[in-house]
Amino acid sequence: MDDLIRALPNLLKAAGDSEEVAEAAAFVAWRRVAGEQLRGQAVPFRLHRKMLVVAVPDTAWQKQLEAVANQYVFRLNSTLGHALVTYIEFRVDPKTVREERARLRETGHDEDKRARRALAHARALNDAAAAIKDEDLRRRFLLAAGSYLDAQERKK
């Protein structure tokens, strides 16, 4: 997982202006920065115009996290290597939090295995992309390959 986190700045650079890649990277970074203790309490679900929206179960969690939001913004951007997030909105959304908790129970925290597989794919794709001289074509190749792999993963 550490290799994936270290690869985020380069993946963001290669993806260019792709909102989907930026959002996915912000979600991965949030999960790393927030840590295991917040995984079932604070669920990222949208990145819009540099604002990360994170679902929390109630107003107590919302107030507690709002008090340290600036620290999370700094840590997120440090992890991402880009000023991708300028503000975090903690939105009370118990349904989204319940769904995430159920997903975590169902998968048994299998994210580490998926992350290792994704990293292996990323390395192979990066090697293939390095052979493409045209920068725009290389970026499009990476986006297409990433979209394909994401769709395959969702089918599982």
Cβ neighbours of residue 58 closer than 8 Å, sequence gap 6 or more: 92, 94
Give me the helix-helix angle, 19-34 and 135-155, nearest 10°: 60
pLDDT along the chain (156 residues), means of 10: 67 76 88 88 94 97 96 94 94 94 73 58 72 79 71 61
Domain that holds residue 33: 2-155
Question: Considering its fold, how many domains does the chain have in total?
Answer: 1
Q: Residue 65: which of 96, 25, 37, 45 has the closest Cα?
A: 37
The confidence score (pLDDT) of residue 129 equals 76
On whether the CB atoms of residues 76 and 29 are closer than 8 A, the answer is yes
φ/ψ of residue 139, rounded to 5:
-65, -45
Q: Which two tokens stand for residue 43?
A: 């669920």
CATH number of the domain residue 43 falls in: 3.30.300.180
Q: What is the pTM of this model?
A: 0.66
